[in-house]
Each structure stands twice: as C-alpha cells, then as structure tokens.
C-alpha cells in the first residue's frame, strides 16, 4: 500500500473530520473540506463506490492545484468504473425494457472494452469487434449461449483487465462486411432481431444511440414508396390513420431498416420460448431463404396480403429519406452518400450524425450529474463536452471526466 508523509495523512484526517462536521451542520467550513467533498462526489459518480483514503487525498490535492480533470481521470482508473458505472450505463441499451439490471453479455462487454481502450465511440455501430473474457475456469464464448459472460459476472471479474478484443466474424460465423458493432452482437440479436420484422433493431438503435424515437422524427411529407406490404394502408378501415400517422414514421424507417434484411435470430420456439439458446444468423452470398428464394429473410415478406401493392424487399439496400425535410436537423454527415447496402454502412450513417454525438454526451451528463441538462449553464457544458468528444476522436472517457468535473460542486 502506498504510504504518505505524516503531514499529508494528518491533512486528510483533519479535512475528513471537518467535512463530516460540516455535512452535519449543513455547510462547508474550510477550503480543505471543499476539495475533499468535491473529490468524493466526483469519485462516487464516476466509479459508483467511495474512494480509498489514498485516492481521496490524491484527487483532493489535484483539485486544489486546479487539475480537476486529472482528478476525474484518476477516478476513471478504478475497476468499479467499468464493473459498476459502465455496466449500469450500457445495460439499458441491450434490452427493450431498458433495464439497468440486465446480465453481462457480449453487447455490454464490447462497449466496456472499447471505452477502456479509448476506441472511437462511433465504432460501436460499425466495426467488426467483440470483447470476451480471458479468465481461467469460465465457459468459452458461444454463438448460442451467454454462459461465458454469466461466468465472468459470477466470478466478479475485473472488466478493466480481463476483457480481450477479438472479432465477431471469427466467433459469430458472419462475414466481416456483415458486422456492425453492437447491432450484430448476439445479445442485440436476441433482443431486437428475435421475431418481429427487424424494425425493432432500428427503432431501439435510435432510442439508445440517437436519444430519439420515431414519433419525434415523424414526417408525413416523405414518399411512402418503400413501406412494406405488411402495413395496412387503411388500419381499422380508415385510410386517414395511415396517411396522417403511420406513413410519417414508416416512410423513413422502412428504407433504413432494410439494411437488416439478411439477419435473423433463430431459436426453437417450442423448447426454448425465450430464445436463451438461439443464435444470430445471416444470409451471405449463396444463402437463400426457402420462403423468399433470396437472401432476404422471410420476416421481411410476412403479411404481404395486408397491402399487396406495398414495397417488396429485394435486398439489403438502405436509403436515408430523412436527409431531406425536417429531419435534416439530425445533422447527417456531408461526407457520406445517404445510401448503401447492409447494416455496417447504415450504422456509419447514424454514428456520424450530430445527434449521435449529442446523445452520448447527454447520457453521460445524466449519469454524472444525476439529472438532464436544465439551464443555459448546463447546455453550455454539454456543448463544450461535445467539442471535446469530437476533437478527442470520439473518446467517451474524456466526456465522463469533463462532465464529472462540471458536476463536482463548488
């Protein structure tokens, strides 16, 4: 254990006593108490656990030296930042209920590993990447089981050290060009490709990574030519419902969700109704779905009789109709074409939008400040953090540090 001179130790114990008394009295009685209180609040928010006396001393000293960002970065080195704070921060993205209590899985572990390794955060929707645990006595990673991660969690593994970077294409049986960051992890497939029409994967990607939902992006001025056959044009016998409501979401969503046309989560509904042993499948070149006689999964052509004249999906080409009209405000990148084939390029379209960057910063703000941005000063802090995020090559740890510093208190 690192030892400190008696003078510094005395400073810590005196300051701690003053801090305790001041909290009891409802005010801060000394400059030392202010720095220690700020250091403790910062560490609690970042790591989710109280700091050790030694770390508290170091952080308080850094704050007193006007090196608050360095103090925050010291707190980020705590294993609890990865095991507690990041796991709870990421877990809601992995399930439709947005529960923070979801089990550790390949989606959560991959984002944690990428953050630890200072990866470009946009790659969570793009890259052929997967993080697994390097620990004796645990199950191997499996395409049809989460046991590997359940074992890591049961052993309270230090995620800041045991996670190892690998690729989805080497473990999930899909080609590199079909990988798209967390969207093509097994956990995401189980939550969002299971059953349905694959629109769920697109919708929940919007919710969790652009901080918006379809209702906020509704635009009835967009051409409805890519809306699939399964959507009735007269729900309940009233075409006005489709024209004034349904079309506003589906005209933009359906051509983008077409990027997932070759993906499916397969499981035995009779013996495994929750899909715990299911696996992600992908129709590569030469793979034909027996019902569609093409690479397109059958779910894209279900309920075709609802409106036979609707769009019949032929491939995985996507087009971003939201680049025109009111949804230009999403801030789409001028460096991209706004169309492509497959989930990877569609993920790139989303991840390079201004709304993606803003969403990540706002999520960090809420985690570190325990509230949404409320006033001009908060909004300025968010804007400054966004600037830091972009200039640091989208390093999200920088956002955690600067935001924790902003909310450490005065």
pLDDT digits (tens, 9 = 90+) for 309-348: 999 999 999 999 999 999 999 999 999 999 999 999 999 9
pLDDT digits (tens, 9 = 90+) for 105-118: 999 999 999 999 99
Higher pLDDT pick, 17 / 111: 111
Give the pLDDT band (50/70/90) at residue 134: very high
Give the pLDDT band (50/70/90) at residue 6: low
- Predicted local distance difference test score (pLDDT) of residue 28: 37
Nearest-angstrom CA–CA distance, 13 and 97: 45
Span 82-107, mean pLDDT? 97
pLDDT digits (tens, 9 = 90+) for 54-74: 999 999 999 999 999 999 999
Span 184-194, mean pLDDT? 98
Q: Beta 339-341 vs 263-266: how paired, if at all?
A: unpaired
Q: Are 85 and 48 in contact (CB under 8 A)?
A: yes
> b/e for 299-336, b at 16 or more Cβ within 10 A?
bbbeeeeebeebbebeebbbbbbbbeeebeebebbeee
Nearest-angstrom CA–CA distance, 384 and 373: 13
Give the pLDDT band (50/70/90) at residue 9: low
Three-state secondary structure call for residue 99: coil
Give the pLDDT band (50/70/90) at residue 26: very low
CA-to-CA dists, residue 196 to 18, 189, 301, 306, 363, angstroms: 59, 12, 11, 16, 28
Span 254-270, mean pLDDT? 98
Give the residue from 139, 136, 135, 88 showing the smallest Cα distance to 112: 88
* Residue 123 CB partners (closer than 8 Å, separation 6+): 114, 129, 181, 351
State the chain's mean pLDDT as an integer. Answer: 93
Q: What is the number of residues in the chain?
A: 410
| Helix (H) or strand (E) segment spanning residue 165 | strand 163-166
Nearest-angstrom CA–CA distance, 253 and 319: 10
| Helix (H) or strand (E) segment spanning residue 12 | helix 6-25
> Taking 50 as the threshold, does the pLDDT of residue 29 lie above it?
no
- Predicted local distance difference test score (pLDDT) of residue 32: 45
- What is the value of pTM for the model shown? 0.92
Higher pLDDT pick, 9 / 301: 301
- Predicted local distance difference test score (pLDDT) of residue 210: 98
Q: Which two tokens stand for residue 339?
A: 């169309």
Give the residue from 43, 51, 98 showing the smallest Cα distance to 363: 98
pLDDT digits (tens, 9 = 90+) for 345-398: 999 999 999 999 999 999 999 999 999 999 999 999 999 999 999 999 999 999
Nearest-angstrom CA–CA distance, 397 and 361: 11
- Predicted local distance difference test score (pLDDT) of residue 18: 41
Give the pLDDT band (50/70/90) at residue 410: confident
> Taking 70 as the threshold, does the pLDDT of residue 19 lie above it?
no
Residue 167: strand pairing partners: none
Nearest-angstrom CA–CA distance, 347 and 327: 17
- Predicted local distance difference test score (pLDDT) of residue 124: 98
């Amino acid at each position: 254990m690192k030892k400190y001179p008696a003078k510094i130790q005395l400073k810590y114990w005196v300051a701690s006593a003053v801090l305790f008394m001041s909290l009891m009295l409802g005010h801060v009685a000394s400059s030392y108490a202010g720095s220690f209180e700020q250091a403790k609040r910062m560490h609690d928010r970042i790591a989710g656990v109280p700091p050790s006396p030694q770390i508290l001393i170091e952080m308080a000293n850094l704050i007193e030296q006007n090196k608050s960002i360095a103090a925050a970065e010291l707190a980020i080195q705590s294993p609890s930042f990865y095991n507690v704070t990041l796991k709870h921060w990421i877990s809601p993205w992995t399930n439709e209920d947005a529960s923070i209590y979801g089990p550790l899985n390949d989606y959560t572990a991959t984002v944690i590993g990428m953050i630890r390794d200072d990866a470009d955060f946009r790659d969570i929707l793009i890259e052929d990447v997967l993080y697994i645990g390097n620990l004796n006595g645990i199950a191997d990673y499996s395409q049809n089981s989460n046991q590997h991660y359940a074992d890591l969690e049961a052993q309270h593994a230090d995620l800041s050290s045991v996670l190892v970077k690998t690729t989805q294409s080497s473990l999930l049986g899909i080609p590199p060009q079909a990988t798209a960051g967390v969207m093509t992890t097994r956990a995401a497939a189980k939550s969002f490709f299971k059953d349905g029409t694959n629109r769920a994967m697109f919708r929940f990607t919007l919710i969790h990574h652009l901080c918006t939902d379809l209702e906020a992006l509704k635009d009835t001025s967009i051409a409805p030519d890519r809306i699939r056959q399964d959507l009735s044009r007269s729900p309940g016998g009233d075409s006005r419902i489709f024209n004034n409501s349904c079309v506003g979401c589906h005209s933009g969503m359906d051509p983008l969700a077409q990027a997932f046309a070759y993906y499916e989560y397969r499981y035995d509904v009779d013996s495994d109704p929750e899909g715990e042993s299911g696996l992600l499948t992908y129709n590569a070149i030469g793979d034909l779905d027996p019902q569609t006689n093409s690479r397109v999964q059958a779910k894209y052509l279900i309920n075709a009789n609802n409106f036979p004249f609707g769009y019949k999906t032929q491939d995985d080409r996507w087009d971003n109709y939201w680049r025109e009209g009111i949804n230009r405000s999403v801030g789409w990148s001028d460096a991209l074409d706004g169309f492509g084939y497959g989930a990877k390029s569609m993920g790139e379209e989303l991840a390079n939008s201004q709304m993606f960057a803003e969403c990540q910063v706002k999520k960090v703000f809420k985690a570190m400040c325990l509230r949404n941005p409320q006033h001009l000063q908060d909004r300025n802090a968010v804007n400054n953090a966004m600037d830091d995020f972009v200039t640091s090559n989208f390093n999200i740890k920088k956002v955690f540090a600067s935001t924790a510093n902003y909310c450490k208190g005065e």
